[in-house]
Each structure stands twice: as structure tokens, then as C-alpha cells.
Amino acid sequence: MRFINMLIVAFFGLTTPLLAEMSDRDGWAVIKTEMAHADLVASTRAAIKENGLIVVTQAGPTKAAAARGIEIPGNTVIGAFNNDFAVRLLTLSTPAMIEAPIRFYVTENADGTATLSYKTPSFVLAPYVEGEDAISEISVELDTLFAQVAAQATTP
């Protein structure tokens, strides 16, 4: 059993740089920076607050993996939203609230820099839009806010 665990650790140790790199995807914004992972996390949290949103959640497997003896690149998911958007969205669609908070994703790159990525709110909320309804309006507002957060967070 110990041998199998060592193989798993070796496998993840060899493949994590490949897993850490983010690339463009439909519905995503991906911004590579020269910032270190911890700095980009702190900058993103500050920009969320400064743009009228709240950090609702923050999670990442890096520290827990290290406690298990597995080294992986920095990896942090930060959920952002606010009560105004929550109430407005909930009055329009109970199912759409499952998408809140909408998340920013900070990943460490193989060269020690970090990337800020997120699914655009309009992409996340698209399944709940019926024609030109108010969810579309909320999506556009959130797209603007998330772009502002990302621009501020990634500017040195």
C-alpha cells in the first residue's frame, strides 16, 4: 500500500505543472499575471470588496494536500456576490441562486506567476435566461463588475 501511495505522489508531482496552466475557454476570462499566487489572491479579495461585492467563500486544496505530503501549485477559488444581487436574482429564479456566489479562480503557474480566471456571470446565468428578461440585465451588471474586479486585481 505504501508503494501505491508513493506512486500516486510521484504521478501528481510530475503532472501538476500541466494541470496548473489555465487557457482560454468559452465563457471564461483568463488573465495571466506576473504576480505570485498569494499576492494575486490578496489583490483579488481587495478588488472584490472595493467594487461592492463580498467574498462569500474561499477554498483551495493546496494546504490540505501539503499536509498529506503532496505538493501542488497554489490553487484558490474565491466566491463573490452581494445581497442586492442575491435578492434580485432570487425573486426572478429560485434555481438560478444555485450559481451564487460566482467564483474567481487563482492558479499558480509553473514559472511561479499566477493566473486569474472566472466564468463570466452571463455565461454562468445563461441557462436561466428566458428571452430578454431581468436575469440578462443582472448578468450584464455582474459581467461589468467582475471585469472591473479582474482588471483591478491584476494591475500591479
- Per-residue confidence in pLDDT tens, the chain, 156 aa: 544 444 444 444 444 444 447 778 899 999 999 999 999 999 999 999 999 999 999 999 999 999 999 999 999 999 999 999 999 999 999 999 999 999 999 999 999 999 999 999 999 999 999 876 899 999 999 999 999 999 999 998
Superfamily the domain 2-153 falls into: TT1751-like domain (3.30.310.70)
All three cell numbers of 46, joined, read 481587495
pLDDT for the residue 132: 66
3-state secondary structure the chain: CHHHHHHHHHHHHHHHHHHHCCCCCCCEEEEECCCCHHHHHHHHHHHHHHCCCEEEEEECCHHHHHHCCCCCCCEEEEEEECHHHHHHHHHHCCHHHHHCCEEEEEEECCCCCEEEEEECHHHHHHHHCCCCCHHHHHHHHHHHHHHHHHHHHCCC
Q: What is the pTM of this model?
A: 0.85
pLDDT for the residue 130: 84
pLDDT for the residue 156: 81
- Integer Cα distance of 89 and 21 in angstroms: 33
- Integer Cα distance of 26 and 47 in angstroms: 24
